[in-house]
Amino acid sequence: MAATAIVPAGKVRTPRARGGMTKKRASDWVLLVAVILGALVVMVPFYLILVNAFKSPIDYATSGPFALPQAIDFTGIQNFWVRVNFPEKVWNSIFISGTVAVLAVLISLLNAFAIGVGRVRGRSWIVLLFLMANLLPQEALLYPLYYMFKSVHLYDSVWSVIIVFTVIQAAFGTYLLASVLGTFPKEVLEAASIDGATRWQILWRVVFPITRPTLSVLLIFFFIWTWNEFLIPLTFLPSNANQTVPVAISVLTGDRLMDVTTTAGAALLSIIPTIIFFLIFQRTLTRGITAGAVK
């Protein structure tokens, strides 16, 4: 996935509500059809997942991949569910992504407080350092980390993945939050200080509540990014019991022996959590993504 630049959004202006639509010309219809055709092409793989997940292997063999199922059949989904112990994989993914999201937001906030509010010396270099840490290819850290985790017996433990992603995500969070806190209203902080609040109290009683919308956008992004990660979980979590959803499905299909309906069932099951998540947080998400480059 692309590194999605996010910024705590201000309000994104919705297109102005218009009284009536402008007159539609023939060329407008042609362009509309073109955009819809494009969207349909984008949807083809999703269509294939959906129809084939509910076919029996025999149905698939006779009617092919494009036809609708003759009868709703759960063999493929069931196969995958049982073979990979799906609930366990979902739990692993939720546990890893959830822990990473919370820890990374916490560390981002602490870092950004020192950089943005505390204005520590050399902060521009510190921010740059964190940004670079986030942009580095994971391959450059992969083997040393693999070796380190092996020697401290964290290899094949979900905590290895949690630690790595906490650092990588927090690096991005620091970069982003530091600029947000750099413009924090000074009067508010001064007022709190005059009232006798310590720095620690100001952080938790003033800065934290006010930046909460930004923090929640970060939290959701960290969760989804970690959920979709592949290389690090693949390398550090070899045993079945610790795998995440994307790794489990890739390991299972890697042997190329799995039949099509099971593959489709697997794909369907592994998209469902992300789609549910997407629907729940759609508003926050679109706000975050769209704010990427918008002032």
Q: Restricting to residues 31-90, which ones interact with other proteins according to CB under 8 A?
A: 31-32, 34-36, 38-39, 42-43, 45-46, 48-49, 64-66
Q: Closest approach of Cβ 79 to other proteins, in Å?
A: 15
Q: Closest approach of Cβ 156 to other proteins, in Å?
A: 14
Q: H or E element: which one contains 263?
A: helix 260-280
- Of 102, 123, 216, 284, the residue at the interface with other proteins (CB under 8 A) is 123
Site for other proteins contains 213 (CB under 8 A): no
**Could you tell me which stretch among 74-82, 83-91, 165-173, 214-222 binds other proteins (CB under 8 A)?**
165-173
* Residue 96 structure tokens: 């890893």
C-alpha 37/C-alpha 172 separation (Å) is 37
Task: Spell out the long-range contacts of 227-235 with Cβ–Cβ below 8 A and sequence spacing 24 or more.
Answer: 227/93, 227/97, 227/273, 227/274, 227/277, 228/1, 228/274, 229/161, 229/165, 231/138, 231/139, 231/142, 232/138, 232/142, 232/161, 232/164, 232/165, 233/96, 233/161, 235/142, 235/146
* Residue 223 structure tokens: 């969760």
* Residue 119 structure tokens: 């204005």
Q: Closest approach of Cβ 72 to other proteins, in Å?
A: 20
- Of 85, 189, 216, 284, the residue at the interface with other proteins (CB under 8 A) is 189
**Could you tell me which stretch among 72-80, 82-90, 129-137, 211-219 binds other proteins (CB under 8 A)?**
129-137
- Of 84, 100, 105, 178, the residue at the interface with other proteins (CB under 8 A) is 178
- Of 99, 166, 214, 242, the residue at the interface with other proteins (CB under 8 A) is 166
Residues binding other proteins: what is the number (CB under 8 A)?
126
Instruction: Give whichever of 73 and 227 is closer to other proteins, judged by the CB atom.
Output: 227
Q: Closest approach of Cβ 241 to other proteins, in Å?
A: 19
- Of 96, 145, 161, 218, the residue at the interface with other proteins (CB under 8 A) is 145
Subset of residues 236 to 265 that bind other proteins, contact rule: CB under 8 A: 245-247, 249-250, 253-254, 260, 263-264
Buried/exposed code over 7-41 (b: 16+ C-beta within 10 A; e: otherwise): bbbeeeeeeeeeeeeeeeeeeeeeeeeeeeeeeee
Q: Closest approach of Cβ 183 to other proteins, in Å?
A: 7
- Which residues are CB-neighbours of 134 under 8 A, at least 6 positions away? 3, 168, 169, 171, 172, 175
